Amino acid sequence: MKKLLNRAMAEGFPVEIIYMKKHEFSKRTILVSDIKNGYVKAFCFQKQQVRLFKVDSILAVFPIKKRMHSAHHA
């Protein structure tokens, strides 16, 4: 999971995360800009702003499917 987050940050591609906050699950698409002190700093596409996500609260990370990328290039 951390490996994929680091790769996403280094290569600049968005990922989808399953995040738990206050006993609720949330699915977010993010663009990672920094990882330090147990937090991921990322642009959240749902909220349209930079957010901090606690690494320990990220339950899963998935690369974004390629067909979503192709929509931006069409």
DSSP string, the chain: -HHHHHHHHHHT--EEEEEEETTEEEEEEEEEEEEETTEEEEEETTTTEEEEEEGGGEEEEEEPPHHHHHHHH-
- For residue 68, what pLDDT band results from cuts at 50, 70 and 90? very low
Domains of the chain and CATH, by start: 2-73 (2.30.30.100)
Q: Is the confidence at residue 70, as pLDDT, over 60?
A: no
Q: Is the confidence at residue 31, as pLDDT, over 70?
A: yes
Q: What is the mean pLDDT of the chain?
A: 89
Q: What's the confidence (pLDDT) of residue 1?
A: 87
pTM of full prediction above 0.95: no
Q: What's the confidence (pLDDT) of residue 66?
A: 60
